[in-house]
Structure 1
Amino acid sequence: MTSPTTLCFSYTKRTLNFRFEAGTSRGVLKTREVYWIKALDSANRDIVGWGEAAPLVKLSPDHREDFEEILKKTLVSLNEVTFELEEKAILNQLEDLVPFDLPSIRFGLETALLDLACGGKKRLFSNRFFDAQEGIPINGLIWMGDRDFMLEQIDQKLSEGFDCIKMKIGAIDFEQEIALLQYIRSRFTKDQIVLRVDANGAFSPKDALKKLGRLAELDIQSIEQPIRAGQFQEMKALCEATPLPIALDEELIGVAEKKTLLDTVRPQHIILKPTLLGGILETREWVKLAEERSIGWWMTSALESNIGLNAISQLASALATKIPQGLGTGKLYHNNLASPLEIESGKIFYKTEKSWGEPV
């Protein structure tokens, strides 16, 4: 057991620039603000822990105009706190210290303190992704845009060796989206290429079931969030009648009564974004409850920089995931932090021979 100690916290803000206009059903993203949290023991300043707080625009409970001020006040208050640098103690203490409605801050602090506790090497806990450089299968993400842009992305992902493709839908004409999915299916069977779609709540409850039927004809593995979050009875009815598996995503954000949601809606899958759900402890609880109910799950990033992506990858690995995760966002930005994270043949790897950039 480590001796309790007081720590020093600070942060660095960076505006990340997308390589392209990233289209979603909630709008187009061109930049992304992230806050890298630094934790160090004043008695040993050579060891530094780094985490990332990155609230997602229009989605994170803590996306607010005064976020930076809230982050600053939170870190100042923690400078007076004594921490025991051991995994369980860190997670439990931060659950008490950081409110549930500040999920990205809690996740960033969890990551920074776990990194510090493990020697400041960007390793958070035992996991084969870091320890054995074991690759994690991921889906190739197809962003919304016009038909030609989406078709170009599809061809690129297929040529790069992805065997799981996830396409965001809901921005262009539905028939055009069906045609793009048919293009993939005309070349590859469901045993060769797994197809996922993400509607980000774009369908209405009235027409959702009909559209799910069209998608099911193309052997789609799952659809994320077909209707907008908060329509529990409509979503429950959809999950009962759906011809293809439904995965809840935005539906989980800000939910404290996890059992009630899962038992009411009974989805086939859930999608876990630690930045939006409140971090490592909350994500582990979602996984436990899902597995107890035979509900599938996988993890995805919420467009974090490589610091956050590394943490989520290690968490997915530690939870012994076997199916493709949504962890292919590291190349989205012109000015992402240099890191050992690399994608090869549809998997993300931690290449120990490569170095991290300095978060400044």
Structure 2
Amino acid sequence: MSLKIAFKSHNLLFRKQAGTSRGVLTSKNSRLIHITDTEKEGISGFGECGPLPGLSVDDIPDFDRQLQSVCDEFNAFDLEVFPFNLQIILDQLVPPHLPSVRFGIETALLDIMHGGRRIIFDNHFSAGQTGILMNGLIWMGSFEDMLQQAEEKLAQDFTTLKLKVGAIDFDKECAILQRIRERYPKKKITLRVDANGAFDGTNVSERLNRLGQYDLHSIEQPVMAGQHGLMKAVCALSPVPVALDEELIGIVGYREKFDLLKKINPHYIILKPSLLGGFQQTTEWIEIAVRLGINWWITSALESNIGLNAIAQYTASFNNPLPQGLGTGQLYQNNFDSPLVVRNGRLFYDNSLDWNLTW
């Protein structure tokens, strides 16, 4: 075995504009990772690096240059990969400030280790035997648009909806929640909201009290990350259970992770492997959360089906009963055909379907 790596850009185009509190998205540039084994013709592994503008640690101007530098160093060694040395390779070649690169290379190496079949984790999900329960994501938009999105998700048999809040008029966002609750009580539909840090110390208490009227499961990142004292107080006093999301990005050390969660003591944490530095880093967060009695779920971060596939297979390894945030595969008009399909509010890996990946 002698492994070689290369990458190329793929600009993902949204089917419709996606609104968040950080702006409207129309496209997202990802870099596809391709690892080949020079001794095994036709065997290759795929991964994906996709920093999110304004959010990822490695959203940097010279990202491609740094990624190329990692690839050059990778290719300078006569590498072989096995379960025992996978993390050694990643630790030696990928610096901590490039979490999406680590995620992409880790995915491609795991693919190679499983025979280059896009099986990243061999489990009941990747075997096509079980599906993963998901929340249906409602993007920010006008009142009418968000309400229409909610109706569409409910018609697709989603039992958990997640709404982005904090960008349009807050009264209108509350009206949407009220409209859904009038039709679907808590015992029928679970509602989550994601503020993406849109509230601040002057309004967070009042807004959380209002949101508490709608029997919400949780609110993600109500205030901007880095305000640990404020977030600790919010978690302690909020009538809506609080989930940390952006708060976790950029924290690499085990002790740092532990100290953060112990101090803030959130109800939930939300894990995005491509923003956190891959699966080993994500597993550390899960282990610490379990120790501290904090629940968790996993969310994709606008990856193509390459990254989403890896995250979904990883997620399935834990049998977490909470709805996961893995519904982004249908966002793009130029995504890669894959066995990933959504049925009745669950994500499945349908082995009767093929990948269309070429290099």
Name the TM tier (shorter chain): over 0.9
Q: Is 1:275 aligned with 2:274?
A: yes
Structure 2 residue aligned with 1:136:
132
Secondary structure of residue in 1 paired with 2:319: coil
Structure 2 residue aligned with 1:245:
241
Q: Could you give the per-residue CA deviations for residues 25-48 of structure 1, whole angstroms, max 9, x where no partner exists?
A: 001111100111001111112110
**Structure 2 matches for 1:344-359, cutoff 5 A?**
344-359=343-358
Q: Could you give the per-residue CA deviations for residues 70-127 of structure 1, whole angstroms, max 9, x where no partner exists?
A: 1111111101234442234213421232111100000000000000010001011232
Q: CA deviation at 1:155?
A: 0.6
Structure 2 residue aligned with 1:148:
144
The match for 1:183 among 175, 179, 184 is 179
Q: CA deviation at 1:359?
A: 4.2
Kindly indicate whether the alpha-carbon contact (under 8 Å) linking 1:18 and 1:332 is maintained by their aligned counterparts in 2: yes
Once residues 16 and 272 of structure 1 are traced to their aligned partners in structure 2, the CA distance between those partners, rounded to angstroms, is: 22
Q: Is 1:310 aligned with 2:306?
A: no
Amino acid at match of 2:296: W
Long gaps (5+) in structure 2: none
Amino acid at match of 2:298: M
Long gaps (5+) in structure 1: none
Q: Could you give the per-residue CA deviations for residues 211-267 of structure 1, whole angstroms, max 9, x where no partner exists?
A: 111111110000000000010100011111111110000000001310110011111
Structure 2 residue aligned with 1:34:
30
Once residues 73 and 341 of structure 1 are traced to their aligned partners in structure 2, the CA distance between those partners, rounded to angstroms, is: 32
Amino acid at match of 1:30: T
Structure 2 residue aligned with 1:260:
259
Once residues 358 and 192 of structure 2 are traced to their aligned partners in structure 1, the CA distance between those partners, rounded to angstroms, is: 34
Kindly indicate whether the alpha-carbon contact (under 8 Å) linking 1:133 and 1:352 is maintained by their aligned counterparts in 2: no
Once residues 124 and 83 of structure 1 are traced to their aligned partners in structure 2, the CA distance between those partners, rounded to angstroms, is: 19
Structure 2 residue aligned with 1:15:
11
Q: CA deviation at 1:156?
A: 0.3
Secondary structure of residue in 2 paired with 1:99: coil
Q: Could you give the per-residue CA deviations for residues 276-307 of structure 1, whole angstroms, max 9, x where no partner exists?
A: 10000000000000011110100001100000
Kindly indicate whether the alpha-carbon contact (under 8 Å) linking 1:198 and 1:224 is maintained by their aligned counterparts in 2: yes
Kindly indicate whether the alpha-carbon contact (under 8 Å) linking 2:121 and 2:310 is maintained by their aligned counterparts in 1: no
Once residues 177 and 201 of structure 1 are traced to their aligned partners in structure 2, the CA distance between those partners, rounded to angstroms, is: 16
TM superposition score normalised by structure 1: 0.97
The match for 2:65 among 66, 69, 76 is 69
Structure 1 residue aligned with 2:342:
343
The match for 1:212 among 167, 189, 208 is 208
Q: Percent identity?
A: 47
Once residues 259 and 214 of structure 1 are traced to their aligned partners in structure 2, the CA distance between those partners, rounded to angstroms, is: 32
Kindly indicate whether the alpha-carbon contact (under 8 Å) linking 1:36 and 1:359 is maintained by their aligned counterparts in 2: no
Secondary structure of residue in 2 paired with 1:79: helix
Secondary structure of residue in 2 paired with 1:85: coil
Amino acid at match of 1:243: P
More moved, 313-322 vs 73-82: 73-82
Distance change in 2, residues 1:66/1:272 (3 Å): same
Secondary structure of residue in 2 paired with 1:31: strand
**Structure 2 matches for 1:194-213, cutoff 5 A?**
194-213=190-209
Amino acid at match of 2:138: I
Kindly indicate whether the alpha-carbon contact (under 8 Å) linking 1:84 and 1:90 is maintained by their aligned counterparts in 2: no
TM superposition score normalised by structure 2: 0.97
More moved, 99-108 vs 318-327: 318-327
Once residues 276 and 132 of structure 1 are traced to their aligned partners in structure 2, the CA distance between those partners, rounded to angstroms, is: 27
Secondary structure of residue in 2 paired with 1:151: helix
Secondary structure of residue in 1 paired with 2:202: helix
Once residues 16 and 58 of structure 2 are traced to their aligned partners in structure 1, the CA distance between those partners, rounded to angstroms, is: 26
Root-mean-square deviation over aligned CA pairs: 1.1
Q: Could you give the per-residue CA deviations for residues 140-163 of structure 1, whole angstroms, max 9, x where no partner exists?
A: 000001111111101100111000
